[in-house]
Each structure stands twice: as C-alpha cells, then as structure tokens.
Amino acid sequence: MDTFRGSYFAEMTKRKLDSSDLAYEEEAPDLRIFVAGRDEPFSAHRDLLKFYSLVIRGLPCAAADEVTTWDLRGVVLEDETQPVSADVVKAWLDIIYSRTDVARPGSPPSSLRECVSLLKFADFAQTSVPLLREIAGRFAEDARAFVEVILSMDCRPRLLLHDCSYSGPSALGLYQTSGMTGVESRVLVPAAALDLPRIRAATSADLEAALYLAARLDLPPLIALLRSFIRAQLLMFNKSRVIDLATIYSARVLNSLPRQVLLEGFLESSLVGMSEGVDLEGGVKGVFKSGLVAGCFGRRVGDSTADGEMSYAQVQGVGLVLKQNINGRGMLHLTPLLGGLAPEERQTMVTECMARAAAAAAGSSRPGGSSRAAS
C-alpha cells in the first residue's frame, strides 16, 4: 500500500497541467445553436453545457451519430425588441468553455447594457445560480465597467461605474471626477455636444433595467456596484446630476429587491444620526477623506482646505458647501448628522443583526424548526 501511494504521488508531481486537459477540442460537437443574423450555427458540446443549463439538459436527444439543434432565431429577451444576438450567445458559450479550458477567454463584457443582455440570456437558458452570480461578480469587479450614452456618431461618452461622479452642465461641458486618483475633474463631453437631459434619460434607463434584473435574480455584487455608482452621483447638486432617481427606483425594482438588501437598508437607516436640528453657518474647513470629494475640489485624499475656500450656505432649504470661482463646480450637499453609531460600530451591528436573521430564517425553514404554537 505504501509503495503504491509513493509511486502514485511521484507520478502526480511529474504531471504538467495543460490548458486542454479537460477541453472538448478532440471530441466532435453534438449541438448546433442557430442564432438570428448568423449564417452558420455555433457548434458546441452538449455534455458540457448540460451541466450549466437546464434548458440544454432538457433538449430532445438526437438519434445516435446525429446532432441536436437549439434554435434561438425567434427568441426575444425581456425588454428587448430584436432576437438574441450572436455576440450574447458567444459570450455565454465562452464563459462556460473557459471553465474547462484556461486558454479560452471567457469574461463578461464591460458594457452594462451588454452584460445585462448576457445575464438575461443566461436566465433564459436556466443557467446555474453559481454561474449567474459568477458572471455578475466578474462584471462588478471590472474596473472598466461602464454605461454608454450615444449622443451622436462621434460622441458616445462612457460613464465608468467604479468610483466616478459626473456633473454638468457648465461652461465647459460634462465633467468626470475620478475617486481613484482624487485629482481635478476632466471634461468628458464638451459643452457644444452636451445634451444633459438625454444623458440623464439614457443612463437612468440602463441603470433601472440592470438593477431590476440584479434584484430579480438576486445578484448581490451587481446590486452593490449599481448602488455605489448611484450614490456617487448624489454628490452633485440635483440640477447637474446625470441620473434621475424616480426612473431608476421604479416599482418593479422596489418590488423585486431581495430580502437581504431590504433588511440591510432598514438597519443602516435606523443606526445613523438625526439630520434635523442644527444648521451650520459661515466658513467650513476640512480634510478630504474621499477621492471623489477631493476630486471635486481639485485635491487629493489627505489634503486640507484653505481658509475661505469653502463656505456653507442654505439654498432653497438645502445645505450646500460652495467652492469659489469654479463656475458652480464643487457644489456639494452638506448634511450634519447628530448622534447615531460611528461607522465601524454601525457596520459591526449590521453584520451581527444580519447573521442572526439568516440563522433564524434557516432554522424556521427546517422541518419542525418553527416554535410557533398552534392556535
């Protein structure tokens, strides 16, 4: 026995991993996928796809030595007007094949709209929940993820979803402030080409569609990314924002939010301080701790404001901090919070409460887990 084990492990240490060890390159494809707008069908291996898709698993089996077909030419995904595209199907296939062949690239697209189409198709194909969440998670981790707005053939601004805020209009156009660097904002769209209502409508529609899908499919990483982007846009004065909250937080979004998101939101709002009861007056001085806020003032994290650079004012009942001589840029809402838990203490409390809620839910779902007495 010892001799066998020794020789076995010796052979294992000699083995070199090959990208095609588990690939299906040497096996003949037994599945053809027909897609609108593509002359030739995609060729695939049913034995692989059926592990990730219940639809593939349920396709009628072809006779021996024959190929199974999957016709998608008439499939129109939710909220779309055209049949599912070849690019979407290819992206789905690439992601699945990349799990057995490291040489085959398989990442979700960086475009939010394209990623939403991919997730909708994956949902249509009844893709496994772990793979759905992996797709959403990899998109959420992509620093290049963006929302694209088509203003003209020559002007297609991409709004990055990670740690950026956007504001306009101004004398120069639409500004992008990056929290990754915390430096002076840059002009993304020149004033001559800027159409803020159009940008706001297109961006909000894409965010609403993505948030609804993420909520319906319970994709926490995507929900977190979209919430972070939306909050970053609220740094700016309402007339200059690139989003419309009423459009984004539609009835279908709110009615689809996972229970965990609702519980966390309730706890967070219950543990912060009161925002009423005091108004600041006069000059304000501070140290920048956020790259996004620092960028609005042309500073870096850790910089301090100079005397007289920032002042507090009430404008139509809203507290604002104004930076002088920048054509209105740097106008930020300032809301003092009285009391409440400190951020670290608040996060600890939310985590503990959510853990107790999850444990209680798991206990009540087991047979005999409920302690409620019969009436």
Going along the chain from its start, the domains and CATH numbers come out as 19-110 (3.30.710)
- pLDDT given for residue 320 in this prediction: 62
Q: CA-based angle 267:223:131, to the nearest 5?
A: 125
Query: Please, what is the average pLDDT of the chain?
Result: 82
- The model's pLDDT over 277-293, given as tens digits with 9 standing for 90+, comes to 666 666 777 788 877 77
User: Which pLDDT belongs to residue 208?
Assistant: 97
User: How does pLDDT run across 313-339, given as a tens digit for each residue?
Assistant: 666 566 666 664 344 455 666 777 778
pLDDT tens, residue by residue, 26-61: 678 889 999 999 999 999 999 899 999 999 999 987
Tokens 């072809």 correspond to 62
Give the pLDDT score at 243: 93
Strands 42-44 and 68-71: unpaired
CA distance 330 to 355: 40
Torsion from C-alpha of 17, 20, 26, 28, nearest 10 degrees: 140
Is 356 within 8 Å of 364 (Cβ atoms)?
A: no
Q: Among residues of the chain, what percentage have pLDDT more than 90?
A: 43
Q: What is the C-alpha separation between 242 and 181, in angstroms, rounded? A: 21
Using DSSP bridges, classify how beta strands 310-315 and 318-323 pair: parallel, antiparallel or unpaired: antiparallel
| pLDDT above 80: residue 306 | no
- Flag whether the pTM goes above 0.85: no
pLDDT average, residue stretch 158-164: 92
pLDDT tens digits, 222-252: 999 999 999 988 876 666 789 999 999 999 9
Distance CA 329, CA 170 (A): 8
